Amino acid sequence: MEKPSQPQLQLRLRLTQGGAIVFGPGRADLLALIQTHGSIAAAGRKMGMSYKRAWALVDSINASFATPLVEAAKGGAGGGGARLTPLGLELLAAYRALQDHCATAPLAQFQAALPVSPEPKSG
């Protein structure tokens, strides 16, 4: 008899220090979108967050490291914008490589051992 299908396991990698998130999937996605769109506001919109929330997250990311990962230019006649610093590009690439490495781990063993229903066992 065939085992009914179940949702695939997903690995969400977060780097923490002292209990605080230093880097994770949301921060990586925001940085990648800033690099793609050249704008913190546009990156935030793509992620469904407010301008204020996107800026707060960028401030938090920048404060987590010895040097900023995002540089922003004020708006005005020149238009403003944002981009990743060389360190930002380097750490984003390192995080994506770490994600890829972890995703190739033997998760199939865990998947096979899970019940069909994700309901907890009593007792």
The CATH T-level fold of domain 22-105 is Arc Repressor Mutant, subunit A (1.10.10)
98's tokens: 């770490």
pLDDT for position 103: 77
pLDDT for position 47: 97
pLDDT for position 122: 58
Give the domain ranges of the chain.
22-105
Closest among 53, 52, 3 to 27, alpha carbons compared: 53
Give the sign of the dihedral formed by CA 29, CA 31, CA 37, CA 39.
positive
pLDDT for position 79: 67
pLDDT for position 119: 58
Q: pLDDT truncated to tens, each residue of the chain (123 aa)? A: 555 566 777 888 999 999 999 999 999 999 999 999 999 999 999 999 999 999 999 999 999 999 999 999 876 656 679 999 999 999 999 999 999 888 776 777 787 888 765 555 555
pLDDT for position 121: 56
**CA 54 to mean position of chain CA atoms:** 13
pTM of the predicted structure, to 2 decimals: 0.80
pLDDT for position 3: 54
Determine the Cα–Cα distance for residues 91 and 57; give it in Å rounded to an integer: 16
Altogether, the residues listed in the chain come to a count of 123
